[in-house]
């Protein structure tokens, strides 16, 4: 440019670097700075075979370099490198701190999380982590100048680099194939912690499946459903299902836990099924799965959307169905029945910062029972024990196990404080479920009541370095899949419908799962349909009726 006749030349003093060199440095950074959990887990899987682990490191490094270099193009390199760095920084936080694997279902959970729920995870330490491992490296990428080769030369050079990396990957893979195949078969999650590639792949898979799901129409199910064995009752049959959140069976004193976390339910003559497993390890999977006709082994998210569920079958049988939600939603389970989401009410008696304690559910039960006209089912979806803010789930009067963790960041609490806070949530759930039973008893002159409680999934509290939930089922620890499940049946309903509760108590040690919920609720409500399977009905073997609920022939 010219200034008063003097030509001034601006010089860009930023350091210049080749695009492939920048890709190489970024790859090294990603593998070293954001993949601690990946490398430490892989090292453990290879045990004492250090040579195979070294070859594994070389192979993963080569394929990672090939992937990153594939995005080395003018106007593309920096945005993608920054995406990789920021994604890896966020993924490494949740993987390293909580043992979380960011797969497609975890992305689905994140997508349906409320702002309040997400806010519990955005702590000061998380922000500092993102600043140091994500934002600052991204600013460095923005700052440097990239020297790009001419188009044809660049294409040839990049292709040569990518092919060389793929060749290294192939040679290493085939060179020690027996070791890699053996570890891969024994530990199918070996690549599930690799940042940022798994989170990005999971996000793409979720986006694609969400687009497909948007056009799914549920196929009718159980349209032949009708009620049977109704002559013995002169009042409506009512079942209240409490769909628990994040309660693990390990911390239920009904199942033998040393702490008295179920003092109220212990007095309610409930039948507790000690060996119950969940359909998933996250709400977005377990809630639709437990109300679907599909067993866990064949359930998929698409099947859940494409087929009507338990609530629809009950509706076909002219049973009135309502759902009160204090969690993040019903995940399309309630698309065709009455549904109320309670947190938006911001009821100051129960709610704060967009979340409500579960007493808000109890507040609605009496009114609902007062207006029951015929056979009815009410589902209460708890916020329960959802973490990491366990302390926010219970009022002060249920703060019995102390000192309890009063922070969202587990790093600021001891293991004992975390466990204390979690056990307080179970103590409060005990109160919620017991009060539901009490309310059914109080309305026994007008309804024949029953209650079911089952949690959607469990929770890890630091066992093997894992916290929270959402692990892929194939590698999930038992703390995330072993869930509490109990039933209570009022005396008048038990007598008129032939339920032998002492028989059920004797059979309570058998294996149960979410697979039982669909058929057990139909059995409890005496709904007959071709889709009912008595073998999956926990009540079926303990009925004393000559005409039992059965599949329509």
320 and 270 share one domain: yes
Tell me if 222 is assigned to some domain.
Answer: no
Q: Region 85-107: what's the mean pLDDT? A: 91
Q: Region 124-152: what's the mean pLDDT? A: 93
Whether pLDDT at 224 is above 90: yes
Whether pLDDT at 552 is above 90: no
Quote the CA–CA distance of 452 and 492 in Å, as a whole number.
Answer: 17
Quote the CA–CA distance of 164 and 159 in Å, as a whole number.
Answer: 8
Contacts of 135 (CB under 8 A, 6+ apart): 86, 89
Tell me if 220 is assigned to some domain.
Answer: no
pLDDT at position 187 is: 86
37 and 111 share one domain: yes
What's the structural domain count of the chain? 2
Whole-structure pTM over 0.95, yes or no? no
208 and 248 share one domain: no
91 and 196 share one domain: yes
Whether pLDDT at 42 is above 50: yes
Quote the CA–CA distance of 435 and 108 in Å, as a whole number.
Answer: 33
Whether pLDDT at 3 is above 70: no
Using pLDDT thresholds of 50, 70 and 90, give the confidence band for residue 351. Answer: very high
Quote the CA–CA distance of 458 and 404 in Å, as a whole number.
Answer: 19
Kindly state the tokens that stand for 133: 């491992």
Quote the CA–CA distance of 427 and 17 in Å, as a whole number.
Answer: 60
Q: Region 523-530: what's the mean pLDDT? A: 96
pLDDT at position 180 is: 87
Whether pLDDT at 550 is above 80: no
CATH number of the domain within which 242 lies: 3.40.720.10
262 and 297 share one domain: yes
- Window from 68-82, 229-243, 520-534 with minimum mean pLDDT: 229-243
Quote the CA–CA distance of 541 and 398 in Å, as a whole number.
Answer: 38
pLDDT at position 232 is: 67
Quote the CA–CA distance of 64 and 166 in Å, as a whole number.
Answer: 10
Helices and strands, counts by H and E, the chain = 20, 19
Kindly state the tokens that stand for 182: 């053996």
Tell me if 549 is assigned to some domain.
Answer: no
Tell me if 139 is assigned to some domain.
Answer: yes
Using pLDDT thresholds of 50, 70 and 90, give the confidence band for residue 7. Answer: low
Cis peptide before 49 (omega within 30 of 0): no
Quote the CA–CA distance of 132 and 40 in Å, as a whole number.
Answer: 21
Range of the structural domain that residue 113 is part of: 8-212
Query: Which value, to the nearest 10 degrees, does the dihedral of the CA atoms of residues 309, 312, 317, 318 take?
Result: 150
pLDDT at position 189 is: 86
Quote the CA–CA distance of 275 and 511 in Å, as a whole number.
Answer: 5
DSSP 4: T
pLDDT at position 294 is: 98
pLDDT at position 553 is: 37
Using pLDDT thresholds of 50, 70 and 90, give the confidence band for residue 252. Answer: very high
Tell me if 263 is assigned to some domain.
Answer: yes
296 and 181 share one domain: no
46 and 183 share one domain: yes
pLDDT at position 361 is: 98
Using pLDDT thresholds of 50, 70 and 90, give the confidence band for residue 1. Answer: very low
Quote the CA–CA distance of 271 and 277 in Å, as a whole number.
Answer: 16
Quote the CA–CA distance of 79 and 426 in Å, as a whole number.
Answer: 46
Q: Region 318-345: what's the mean pLDDT? A: 96
Q: Kindly report the average pLDDT of the chain as a whole number.
A: 92
Cis peptide before 515 (omega within 30 of 0): no
Using pLDDT thresholds of 50, 70 and 90, give the confidence band for residue 6. Answer: low
248 and 332 share one domain: yes
Kindly state the tokens that stand for 189: 């999650």
Question: H or E element: which one contains 295?
Answer: none
pLDDT at position 305 is: 95
- 170-197 pLDDT tens trace: 999 998 888 888 888 888 888 999 999 9
Inter-axis angle of helices 197-213 and 77-98, nearest 10:
100
425 and 322 share one domain: yes
Quote the CA–CA distance of 240 and 439 in Å, as a whole number.
Answer: 10
Using pLDDT thresholds of 50, 70 and 90, give the confidence band for residue 546. Answer: very low
Contacts of 361 (CB under 8 A, 6+ apart): 324, 326, 342, 380, 382, 432
Quote the CA–CA distance of 24 and 12 in Å, as a whole number.
Answer: 23
258 and 142 share one domain: no
Tell me if 231 is assigned to some domain.
Answer: no
- Window from 51-55, 204-208, 544-548 with minimum mean pLDDT: 544-548
192 and 269 share one domain: no
Whether pLDDT at 220 is above 80: yes
Tell me if 398 is assigned to some domain.
Answer: yes
**Of the candidates 173, 195, 212, which is a domain's last residue?**
212
Whether pLDDT at 320 is above 90: yes
Tell me if 227 is assigned to some domain.
Answer: no
pLDDT at position 186 is: 83
Higher pLDDT, 7 or 307: 307
20 and 169 share one domain: yes
**Of the candidates 194, 212, 230, which is a domain's last residue?**
212
């Amino acid at each position: 440019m010219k200034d008063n006749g003097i030509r001034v030349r601006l010089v860009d003093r930023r350091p210049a670097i080749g695009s492939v060199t920048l890709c190489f440095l970024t790859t090294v950074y990603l593998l070293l700075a954001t993949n601690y959990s990946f490398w430490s887990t892989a090292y453990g899987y290879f045990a004492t075979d250090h040579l195979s682990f070294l070859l594994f490191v070389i192979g993963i490094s080569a394929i990672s370099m090939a992937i990153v270099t594939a995005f080395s193009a003018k106007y593309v390199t920096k945005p993608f490198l920054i995406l990789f760095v920021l994604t890896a920084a966020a993924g490494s936080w949740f993987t390293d701190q909580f043992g979380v694997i960011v797969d497609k279902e975890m992305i689905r959970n994140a997508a349906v999380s409320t702002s309040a729920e997400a806010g519990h995870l955005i702590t000061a330490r998380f922000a500092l982590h993102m600043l140091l491992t994500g934002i600052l490296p991204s600013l460095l990428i923005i700052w440097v100048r990239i020297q790009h080769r001419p188009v044809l030369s660049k294409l040839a050079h990049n292709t040569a680099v990518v092919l060389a990396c793929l060749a290294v990957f192939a040679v290493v893979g085939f060179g020690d194939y027996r070791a890699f195949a053996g570890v891969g078969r024994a530990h199918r999650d070996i690549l599930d912690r690799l940042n940022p590639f798994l989170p990005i792949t999971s996000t793409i898979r979720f986006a694609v499946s969400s687009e497909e799901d948007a056009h799914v129409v549920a196929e009718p199910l159980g349209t032949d459903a009708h009620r049977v064995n109704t002559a013995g009752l002169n009042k409506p049959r009512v079942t209240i299902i409490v769909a628990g959140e994040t309660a693990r069976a390990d911390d239920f004193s009904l199942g033998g836990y040393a702490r008295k976390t179920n003092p109220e339910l212990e007095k309610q003559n409930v039948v507790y099924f000690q060996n119950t497993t969940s359909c998933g390890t996250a709400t977005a999977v377990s809630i639709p799965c437990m109300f679907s006709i599909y067993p866990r082994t064949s359930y998929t998210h698409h099947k859940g959307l494409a087929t009507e569920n338990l609530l629809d079958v009950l509706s076909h049988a002219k049973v009135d169905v309502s759902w009160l939600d204090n969690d993040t939603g019903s995940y399309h389970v309630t698309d065709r029945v009455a549904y109320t989401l309670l947190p938006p009410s911001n009821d100051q008696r129960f709610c704060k910062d967009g979340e409500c304690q579960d007493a808000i559910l109890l507040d609605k039960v009496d009114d609902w029972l007062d207006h029951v006209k015929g056979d009815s089912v009410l589902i209460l979806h708890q916020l329960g024990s959802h973490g990491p803010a366990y302390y926010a789930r219970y009022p002060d009067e249920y703060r019995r196990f102390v000192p309890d963790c009063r922070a969202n960041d587990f790093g600021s609490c001891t293991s004992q404080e975390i466990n204390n806070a979690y056990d307080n949530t179970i103590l409060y759930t005990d109160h919620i479920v017991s009060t539901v039973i009490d309310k059914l008893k109080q309305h026994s002159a007008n309804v024949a009541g029953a209650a079911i409680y089952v949690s959607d999934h469990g929770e890890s509290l630091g066992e093997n370095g894992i916290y929270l939930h959402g692990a892929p089922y194939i590698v999930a620890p038992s703390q995330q899949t072993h869930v509490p499940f109990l039933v209570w049946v009022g005396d008048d309903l038990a007598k008129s419908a032939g339920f032998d509760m002492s028989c059920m108590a004797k059979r309570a040690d058998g294996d149960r799962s979410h697979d039982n919920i669909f058929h057990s609720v139909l059995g409890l409500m005496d709904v007959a349909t071709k889709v009912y399977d008595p073998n999956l009905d926990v009540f079926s073997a303990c009925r004393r009726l000559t005409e039992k609920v059965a599949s329509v022939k």
